[in-house]
Structure 1
Amino acid sequence: MSGQGTVLVTGGSGFIGSWCVIALLQQGYAVRTTVRDLARESTVRAAIGKVVDPQDRLSFHAVELTADAGWDAAANGCDYMLHVASPVVAVEPKNADDLIVPARDGTRRAVGAALKAGVKRVVLTSSVAATSPRPGARESVSDESIWTDLDDPTVGAYARSKTLAERAAWDLVDGSAGATTLATVNPSMVVGPILSPDFSASVQVVQRLLSGTVPGLPRLGFCFVDVRDVADLHVRAMTAPEAAGQRFIAARDFAWMADLAALLRASLGDAASKVPTRRVPDFVLRFAALFDKSLASVTPRLGEKRVFSSAKAQRMLGWRPRPVEEAVLDCARSLIATGAV
């Protein structure tokens, strides 16, 4: 056991999970991580080893979000848990329960195991999808006091899954009357350097621009944040006494797709030769969405500037996220280096 303590990170093969493992190893913790199949251990070790040597401080447990087996053994003896694992898809599923059930029930299993093991704190990776106001305003600013309204019929399966999973975690911890506390980290669109070709759906925003698979630039924009800063916020929320019982939005600045395209072209030279330059009118994207389901979920947000404030994390935990330009360019360079574009 490390002098800093032992942390269970669920979903260590994922984009955020792997950087959480790295951040903890860099700070001297012993880390256990979960994967669905132990055959992935060597691949995950190799990816993490690009940044930090795990030595003998990293171990693996096989668990599934949809099954009870293995959770108690993974959590037993841990001081903390970062529950990062959750299903993510690029396209909204036909059946919302395909996302909601594993997200909600996996959270119940993870938090239940943490409560049974008596860990000091669970940090749950939620999403700004769980802190979003009802659509309508062309511009909005959200903070942690806002919960996504599940009575709104326009809320998609992913946002429902993250909101229900986070609610489940709060209900379990609030009802336990035990020593385990909970904090949540609610990231916006996460980019930054990838460690393997197995990257998250959020990185596809940059990847599709670089590869030219998007024919033009729609009036879409997002609040971005670097994955390394998301991992840093997880560790801060894990250890700060004042973080107990708190939600923390992890977000930096808002950027339109056209802003990203201009940044890539200005900074990467020939490597950005396929990045589109022309704008796509709204009606064109809406028509294309009739045939491409990956577009259907974003067309309601055309022209919408939805901003998420991380002032609370900065004020309470001293969190300082890096500029969006750095996050996007490091993401792009890593995509190029790994042959993903």
Structure 2
Amino acid sequence: MDLVLLTGVSGFIAKHVALKLLNAGYSVRGTLRRMDRAEEVRAALAPYLTEHAGVLTFVQADLESDAGWAEAMAGVSALVHTASPFPIAQPKDPATVIRPAVEGTERVLKAAASAGVTRVILTSSTVAVLNEAKPDTLQDEADWCDIHLPSTTPYAKSKTLAERTAWEIAKARGLKLTTINPGLVLGPPLDEHYGSSLGLVERFLKGKDPMLPPMGIPVVDVRDVAEMHLRALQRPETEGRRYLASSGSMAFVDMGRTLKAAYPTRRIPTREAPKAIVRLLSVFDASIKSILPKLGHLERVSNARAVKEMGMEFIAPKAALLASADWLVKHGRIWA
């Protein structure tokens, strides 16, 4: 079966993508910055692999270095590029997140083109789609984040510029590119190494905030995101297209109330904070400042293309949220 190169294989989304690919019969070569994480990835996937799963191997390569990429591409039929920096808080220097995302995408896609690998699936984000000049409108694959707005975060700029770079290289070098643009990715991790991905759910369950900001964002289950990567790879008609991975949007207060109903004994916030209080808090907390333009808005994106062209049936936002919480509580990540 075909060999697929999967970048950043130790990531929360990437492990699920690896599982989908392997169980579909593909062999997967995963890139790691440090080879000592190979056994961690193997152990995470092992309980879920079928008897007909493809072969999993690893190669060392870093987004910020040319070393190893030519070797990584050898004999590969397709590239699935999931690796990208994901900051917990917005950095003081935007370049620390923008540069590796953009240069890394450029480095990996050019290495693929040089090796004759033409099929590429790229993990982007709905932040590369959502234009804050059009709040509360249902946005789709034709929309792009406006990086010139003063409110655009370094993370949104990094994902937007990285995706635009990918499309430019694809056009110039003849790559058959598909992008998958997920919203907030929830759902169960495959092991305890999931980085900052479920940080929001952990924060809710720990009751760190007395109230919640008046805003909402698109949500998707990690298992659906992985399935979309697989379907994109299997369907040539997806080449040259973007696909939004979202099962719907949830307001933060609805997330809080959903979790409180499931865990009534926990101190989970269920009240919405007045905008004035959030603005005041942002003076003291830089991570809050980045959400100010979103206050009072429910960001929404359309999943119609994924449903129509990929046949996706999405896990509901509440189910994805509860699956995350369930896993965190059962695995002792959140103490009573």
TM-score scaled by length of structure 2? 0.95
Aligned counterpart for 1:260 among listed residues 247, 255, 261: 255
Aligned counterpart for 1:129 among listed residues 124, 127, 131: 127
Aligned to 1:226: 221
SS of the equivalent of 1:219 reads: coil
Aligned counterpart for 1:39 among listed residues 10, 30, 36: 36
SS of the equivalent of 2:329 reads: helix
Aligned to 2:11: 14
Aligned to 1:327: 320
Tell me the number of residue pairs that the alignment of Structure 1 and Structure 2 aligns: 333
Query: Structure 2: 5+ residue runs without aligned partners?
Result: none
Kept after mapping to 2: 8 A contact 1:216/1:276: yes
Kept after mapping to 2: 8 A contact 1:65/1:106: yes
Matches within 5 A, 1:235-250: 235-250=230-245
Counterpart CA distance in 2 for 1:52 and 1:215 is 42
- Closer/same/farther in 2, CA of residues 214 and 52 from structure 1, 3 Å limit: farther
Kept after mapping to 1: 8 A contact 2:24/2:54: no
- Of all paired residues, the percent bearing the same amino acid is 38
Q: How big is the shift at 1:100?
A: 0.8
Confirm or deny that 1:174 pairs with 2:171.
Answer: yes
Kept after mapping to 2: 8 A contact 1:212/1:274: yes
- Closer/same/farther in 2, CA of residues 140 and 201 from structure 1, 3 Å limit: farther
Counterpart CA distance in 2 for 1:278 and 1:150 is 32
Deviations for 1:183-241, whole angstroms, at most 9, x for unmatched residues?
A: 10111111000223332434222111111112222212111000010010011111211
Matches within 5 A, 1:1-341: 3=1, 5-52=2-49, 57-135=55-133, 137=135, 139-177=136-174, 180-270=175-265, 273-341=266-334
Counterpart CA distance in 1 for 2:90 and 2:259 is 28
Kept after mapping to 2: 8 A contact 1:196/1:338: no
Kept after mapping to 1: 8 A contact 2:25/2:54: no
Q: How big is the shift at 1:119?
A: 2.3
Q: How big is the shift at 1:75?
A: 1.4
* Aligned-partner residue type, residue 83 of structure 1: H
Counterpart CA distance in 2 for 1:62 and 1:151 is 36
* Aligned-partner residue type, residue 194 of structure 1: P
Counterpart CA distance in 2 for 1:201 and 1:135 is 28
Counterpart CA distance in 1 for 2:290 and 2:195 is 17
SS of the equivalent of 2:243 reads: strand
TM-score scaled by length of structure 1? 0.93
Q: CA RMSD in A?
A: 1.6
